[in-house]
Chains A and B, each alone.
Chain A
Amino acid sequence: MHPGVTPLVEVEDLHVHFGAARAVDGASLQVAPGEVLALVGESGSGKTTLIRAIQGLQKPTSGEIRVEGTPVDNRSRRQIQMIFHNPAVQMVFQDPTGALNPRQTIYEIVAEGLRIHGQPKDEAERVAQALSRAGLRPPERFFQFYPHEISGGQRQRVVIAGAMVMEPRLLLADEPVASLDASIRGEILALMRHLVDDVGLAILVVTHDLGLAWNIADRVAVMYLGRIVETGPTEQILDDPKHPYTRALLSVVPETREMEQQILVGEIPDPARIPEGCRFHPRCPLLQSGTLPAEISGRCPTDDPGPLAVGATSAAACWAVSMLAADG
């Protein structure tokens, strides 16, 4: 991200705990205007809880979330609700069929957000513009259709139009193509990238699909057990990952078959029992390889490498990465 640009969203040292379970445990990230950040992680990494907190649907235990520079007092329920209703932040869900009311016309579906926020006089124009931006042209042709009368790809475009009609600056997208057929996937991703390039939208997309990140993201943040463990520009993270967890994830993407597979044993630990030291150390292939010098391997089980610095543009939370880099 460029210095001097106010991020649309800043998340600083966010914690969301559910009893003993630390679902989000010190996560920080920023999204700048006009960029796509892919938040990558497996089930149980805390990525969905993190974006629910940004939407105001989940009260943080501690930490700060700022939207367009305005801090949100996390103790005030009213202000949390305000962010949720902030039209600058809109959400796109996974399953377009479930997200659309089958008894509403496309026009009514797209106009709904406008009506909740007070009916503008130019409603029809704005609905037409949103449909057109989502690639449904000419927009008037779609006004009277019902969801079952259009294709799966068009339905996901309607979901996006329903978000775009609010003229948001940030779109939060949770696995936006996971439930779509392979052939539709590409057209929806192309649309999302087009909105960023042409309208200046920013997108925070949550996914476990690294191919999606390669297709549309400027930056990638990798989440493991409540924290961002590596972040950086997409090319760097996907071409030359540093953190052993990111390296393992990339090695098992079926599309990168030149890499030697590092299949991790077991699943992400229970967030109520986050391991001591580095939270990844019990599954870390680098530590298990026995190739690390003793002054590094001795720290992994006992010392937490800590969360990434707030505002870090390229970093990995790993003793081996930071200590070997310090040695040159």
Chain B
Amino acid sequence: MSEPLLSIRDLTITYHGHGEAVPAVRGVSFDIERGGSLGLAGESGCGKSTLANSLLRLLPAGTDVKGQIILDGQDVLNLSPGGLRAVRWTSGAIIFQGALHALNPVQTVGDQIAEPMLVHETAASDSVARDKAIDLLRRVGLPAARADSYPHQLSGGQRQRVLIAMALACDPHLLIADEPTTALDLMVQAQVLALLDDLKQERELTLMFITHDLSVLTYACQRLAIMYAGRIVEEGPAWDVFAGPSHPYTRALAAAFPTIGDVSSRMAPSGLGGDPPTPGNLPQGCPFHPRCPLARDECLVAEPELRSSGIGRSAACILV
């Protein structure tokens, strides 16, 4: 097997603020094969967006990042500023969440798509960059005339398409999509997911998808990783994990999205009490135990490590 496009080893990210250390990501390791796709799921505050931003070193200065990130053969955490600039946009690009705030309101969308090509010198001239920006707009399903529009003149779905076009400007190998469809309607969400899938095939992209909606990830990705309190608690082939979760937390997340037509969920919404723990103040032992329906005394003793829970699958729970 060839080398993975992205390889993360024992990644630990700690924020420092108000004199206290807040561990947001606590020892995460995974690989994404070239052309593969991984969906990262979890609740607010589980560390998934921190992890995504760390891949291109987009975290605030003073954040403590330990471990190893190898992207496209580059050791991201030890790159020079020049090397880092080359990795951003060309090796990996992020489609940010919140399609309105991620765009500049006073610049046309065509100019915004052309900008990274000029900054990274992947386009020889303004006119080449502009032509490519128009090609990209067409590719994401918008008419060329939209290049002269400002973000407020576009619908939410159209703005999301512009952000995808912008992320593709420098032909990145890895596309990181952070909640790309959260604010979108069902049909527009389906359009955007189908577009990402087509682009993935046609450009041999590797995808990393982040959302709290497990059903979207299952549809869009080959593999799933579930995060809780800064760690991956379950990982495996997407459909296997969604349909037959090993970890009690994954089970609760999967049950939150009922299968329409399944009589067991009709008039029977399923939830999980309580809130995720505060990163600075984690419970002892397994951080999920205060909310876990299966918790027992041993769960308070030590935090479980990931262990095999089936073919190509692992879960961090002593009951596995």
- A contacts, CB < 8 Å to B: 42-43, 151-153, 181-190, 193, 208, 210-211, 214-216, 234-235, 238-239, 248-250, 252-257, 261, 263-264, 267
| B81 CB–A CB distance under 8 Å | no
Please name all residues of chain B whose beta carbon is closer than 8 Å to the beta carbon of A210 when the two chains form the complex. 186, 260
In the bound complex, CA of A253 to CA of B156 (Å) = 19
Please name all residues of chain A whose beta carbon is closer than 8 Å to the beta carbon of B190 when the two chains form the complex. 252, 261, 263
Known: A261-B190, A263-B187. A181 touches B212 (CB 8 A): yes
In the bound complex, CA of A187 to CA of B157 (Å) = 30
Please name all residues of chain A whose beta carbon is closer than 8 Å to the beta carbon of B291 when the two chains form the complex. 183
Report the interface size for chain B: residues with CB under 8 A from the other chain: 42
13 A–B contacts, CB within 8 A, in A order: A43-B185, A153-B271, A183-B291, A189-B269, A189-B271, A193-B269, A210-B186, A214-B258, A253-B186, A254-B216, A255-B215, A255-B257, A255-B258
Provide the main secondary structure of the chain A interface: helix
In the bound complex, CA of A299 to CA of B290 (Å) = 61
| B273 CB–A CB distance under 8 Å | yes
B residues 205-260 touching A (CB-CB < 8 Å) = 212-216, 218-219, 252-253, 255-260
Please name all residues of chain B whose beta carbon is closer than 8 Å to the beta carbon of A261 when the two chains form the complex. 190, 194
Is B271 within 8 A of A263, CB to CB?
Answer: no
In the bound complex, CA of A239 to CA of B188 (Å) = 22
Is A153 within 8 A of B274, CB to CB?
Answer: yes
Please name all residues of chain B whose beta carbon is closer than 8 Å to the beta carbon of A215 when the two chains form the complex. 258, 265-269
Is B186 within 8 A of A249, CB to CB?
Answer: yes
Known: A186-B272, A193-B267, A267-B155. A181 touches B43 (CB 8 A): yes
In the bound complex, CA of A185 to CA of B253 (Å) = 10
| B191 CB–A CB distance under 8 Å | yes
Min CB distance B268 to A, Å, is: 7
Is B258 within 8 A of A211, CB to CB?
Answer: yes
When C-beta atoms are compared, the residue in chain B nearest to A212 turns out to be B269
Min CB distance A96 to B, Å, is: 12
Is B266 within 8 A of A235, CB to CB?
Answer: yes
- B contacts, CB < 8 Å to A: 43-44, 155-157, 185-191, 194, 212-216, 218-219, 252-253, 255-261, 265-276, 291
In the bound complex, CA of A76 to CA of B226 (Å) = 55
Known: A189-B271, A193-B269, A215-B267. A252 touches B260 (CB 8 A): no
Is A186 within 8 A of B260, CB to CB?
Answer: no
In the bound complex, CA of A151 to CA of B276 (Å) = 9
Partner of B260, one of A153, A189, A214, A263: A214
When C-beta atoms are compared, the residue in chain A nearest to B188 turns out to be A267
Please name all residues of chain A whose beta carbon is closer than 8 Å to the beta carbon of B266 when the two chains form the complex. 214-215, 234-235
Q: Which 7 A-B pairs have the closest CB atoms?
A: A186-B271, A187-B271, A189-B269, A252-B190, A183-B272, A151-B275, A254-B215
Please name all residues of chain B whose beta carbon is closer than 8 Å to the beta carbon of A208 when the two chains form the complex. 185-186
Is A248 within 8 A of B256, CB to CB?
Answer: no
Is B274 within 8 A of A182, CB to CB?
Answer: no
Please name all residues of chain B whose beta carbon is closer than 8 Å to the beta carbon of A238 when the two chains form the complex. 260-261
In the bound complex, CA of A234 to CA of B266 (Å) = 10
Is B274 within 8 A of A151, CB to CB?
Answer: yes
In the bound complex, CA of A255 to CA of B262 (Å) = 10
Is A183 within 8 A of B260, CB to CB?
Answer: no
Known: A186-B270, A249-B186, A254-B216. A263 touches B252 (CB 8 A): no
